[in-house]
């Protein structure tokens, strides 16, 4: 079993509030700027635009994208909601 699978297994056993804290910390880490990653994403975006202009790829509507990820987004929103509710209760 890989390290990420082991970590995920442990995270799934956490209480909802603990999961929310973990998500918050991971998001904070991911939001740190990284010039190398920003450069790679800019290049990827340009490559995709060029491929679209050449007719090699097609556009996908926002509705299609959201329908694919709706349940995952709902879980994320619920987790964030629980985390902030926990923070409010803790501060009171």
Return the DSSP state at 31: T
Per the CB < 8 A criterion, the answer to whether 26 and 18 are in contact is: no
Instruction: Give the domain extent around 63.
Output: 15-91
Q: Is 29 helix (H, G, I), strand (E, B) or coil?
A: helix
Residue 4 counted as domain residue: no
Domain count, the chain: 1
Residue 5 counted as domain residue: no
Residue 1 counted as domain residue: no
Residue 10 counted as domain residue: no
Task: Read off the pLDDT band of 92 (50, 70, 90).
Answer: low
pLDDT at residue 1 above 60? no
**75 is written with which tokens?**
């879980």
Task: Read off the pLDDT band of 59 (50, 70, 90).
Answer: very high
Task: Read off the pLDDT band of 33 (50, 70, 90).
Answer: confident
* 92 vs 85, residue with greater confidence: 85
Residue 43 counted as domain residue: yes
Q: Which pLDDT score, from 0 to 100, does residue 85 have? A: 75
Residue 87 counted as domain residue: yes
Q: What is this structure's pTM?
A: 0.43
């Amino acid at each position: 079993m890989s390290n990420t699978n082991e970590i995920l297994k442990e995270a799934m056993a956490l209480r909802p509030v603990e999961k929310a804290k973990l998500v918050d910390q991971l998001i904070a880490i991911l939001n740190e700027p990284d010039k190398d990653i920003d450069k790679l994403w800019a290049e990827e975006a340009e490559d995709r635009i060029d491929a679209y202009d050449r007719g090699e790829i097609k556009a996908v509507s926002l509705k299609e994208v959201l329908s694919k990820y709706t349940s995952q987004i709902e879980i994320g929103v619920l987790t964030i909601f629980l985390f902030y509710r926990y923070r409010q209760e803790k501060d009171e």
